[in-house]
């Protein structure tokens, strides 16, 4: 260990950066991030839900032609976590004292009335800058990035945490054996490349599937013919088992992953 002024240096064979979408490990290692086109902003706020929603496990998505979609779910603290999803640059209209009224434009009437009636208890809104993309290379000599640091995920269908955990399992499988011995730099670098090779196809597929899901929200906002057709179709056939099964099967790849990930037995340490 070397202390150098205010810096502390720790020698290591491999530094694994799991420091999220704004990863400073990725930046310091000189690893590029290829951003996807679907960058957007979310206006994030909380409010108490109606009593019958307290124990509910529902995820509400409200879409209305020409308005920013609004999502809401009951969070760990019993509050409704709400998010208004908008393209970059859309935040300007919420920089007013009455930001809440435009934030609720897509909401059903009863939902909007409830939130406005409790406006004094609404939390201060926070802007979430949603960047999506992937690093073409997840590693540099002695450095590996995983999770959002390697592939910042969109919130669509809430899969980013699962995917980050699956990265960690695969990394443990490849690095566990090395950690027990004295690995050469080449062996560490090869393990890092193998981790990326194993995880990347599922990540890129998940990001494609998230884009496909997000297109539906874009169609809804723009009120396209595709959205009108889908809405009519959902009303007409949504109550049938076969239609529900077809929808669920379309969701499967994104929600359950597309590769098999199993933690191998780790060597005793
Ligand atoms: C608005 C929004 C909503 C989302 N909702 C969901 C959801 O409901 N479910 C879901 O699965 N995914 C969701 N996602 C995606 C999900 O948040 C990420 O894909 C997931 O958290 C990635 O996990 P991670 O461990 O790689 O990174 P993170 O969860 O971002 O964890 C990184 C950690 O590193 C820490 N850190 C950063 N820099 C440093 C530093 N210099 N020193 C020390 N620590 C540092 C951070 O504090 C943080 O704790 C959402 C994303 C967004 C933008």
Q: Are residues 154 and 248 in the same domain?
A: yes
In order along its 269 residues, the chain shows pLDDT tens digits of 566 678 888 899 999 999 999 999 999 999 999 998 877 889 999 999 988 877 777 888 898 888 898 999 999 899 999 999 988 888 888 998 999 999 999 999 999 999 999 999 999 999 988 889 999 999 999 999 999 999 999 888 889 999 999 999 999 999 998 988 889 999 999 999 999 999 999 999 999 998 888 777 666 767 778 777 877 888 888 888 888 888 888 888 888 888 999 999 766 65
Of the three residues 130, 154, 179, the one that is the final residue of a domain is: 130
Q: Are residues 164 and 244 in the same domain?
A: yes
Q: Are residues 64 and 19 in the same domain?
A: no
**Residue minimizing CA distance to atom 49 of ligand 1:** 19
Quick one: CA dihedral 58, 62, 63, 69, positive or negative? negative
Question: 3 CA to middle of ligand 1, Å?
Answer: 30
Pairwise CA distance, residues 195 & 174, whole Å:
7
Greatest pairwise CA separation for the chain in angstroms:
70
Pairwise CA distance, residues 139 & 175, whole Å:
14
Of the three residues 68, 101, 130, the one that is the final residue of a domain is: 130
Determine whether the shortest distance from the Cβ of 153 to ligand 1 is under 6 A: yes
Determine whether the shortest distance from the Cβ of 39 to ligand 1 is under 6 A: no
Of the three residues 102, 130, 158, the one that is the final residue of a domain is: 130
Determine whether the shortest distance from the Cβ of 161 to ligand 1 is under 6 A: yes
Q: Are residues 100 and 206 in the same domain?
A: no
Instruction: Give the atom of ligand 1 at the shortest distance from the alpha carbon of 44.
Output: 1
Pairwise CA distance, residues 191 & 144, whole Å:
10
Sheet holding 139-140, edge to edge: 15-17, 143-145, 139-140
Q: Are residues 222 and 187 in the same domain?
A: yes
**Residue minimizing CA distance to atom 50 of ligand 1:** 155
CB 134 within 8 A of CB 150: yes
Q: Are residues 118 and 48 in the same domain?
A: yes
Determine whether the shortest distance from the Cβ of 257 to ligand 1 is under 6 A: no
Q: Is residue 5 part of a domain?
A: no
CATH number for the domain harbouring residue 116: 3.30.70
- Strands, E, within the chain: which ranges? 2-4, 7-9, 15-17, 34-35, 40-47, 59-62, 70-74, 80-87, 126-130, 133-134, 139-140, 143-145
CATH number for the domain harbouring residue 168: 3.50.50.60
The whole domain housing 198 covers: 11-35+135-256
- Strands, E, within 141-246: which ranges? 143-145
Per-residue tokens: 142: 């002695």
Q: Are residues 115 and 145 in the same domain?
A: no
Q: Are residues 68 and 189 in the same domain?
A: no
């Amino acid at each position: 260990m070397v202390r150098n002024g205010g810096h502390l240096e720790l020698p290591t064979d491999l530094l694994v950066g799991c420091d999220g979408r704004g990863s400073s490990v990725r930046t310091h290692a000189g690893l590029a991030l290829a951003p996807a086109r679907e960058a957007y902003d979310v206006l994030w706020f909380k409010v108490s839900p109606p009593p019958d929603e307290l124990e509910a496990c529902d995820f509400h998505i409200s879409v209305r032609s020409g308005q920013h979609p609004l999502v809401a779910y009951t969070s760990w603290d019993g509050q409704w976590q709400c998010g208004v999803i908008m393209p970059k640059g859309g935040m300007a209209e919420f920089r007013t004292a009455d930001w809440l009224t435009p934030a609720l434009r897509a909401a059903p009437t009863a939902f909007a009335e409830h939130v406005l009636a409790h406006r004094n208890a609404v939390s201060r809104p926070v802007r979430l800058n949603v960047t999506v993309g992937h690093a073409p290379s997840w590693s540099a000599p002695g450095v590996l990035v995983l999770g959002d640091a390697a592939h910042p995920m969109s919130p669509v269908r809430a899969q980013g945490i699962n995917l980050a955990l699956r990265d960690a399992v695969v990394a443990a499988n490849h690095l566990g054996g090395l950690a027990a011995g004295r690995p050469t730099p080449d062996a560490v670098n090869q393990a890092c490349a193998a981790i990326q090779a194993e995880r990347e196809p599922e990540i890129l597929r998940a990001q494609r599937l998230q884009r496909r899901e997000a297109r539906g929200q874009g169609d809804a906002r723009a009120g396209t013919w595709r959205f009108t057709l889908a809405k009519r179709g959902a009303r007409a056939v949504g109550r049938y088992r076969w239609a529900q099964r077809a929808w669920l099967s379309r969701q499967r790849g994104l929600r359950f992953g597309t590769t098999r990930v199993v933690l191998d037995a780790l060597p005793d340490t």
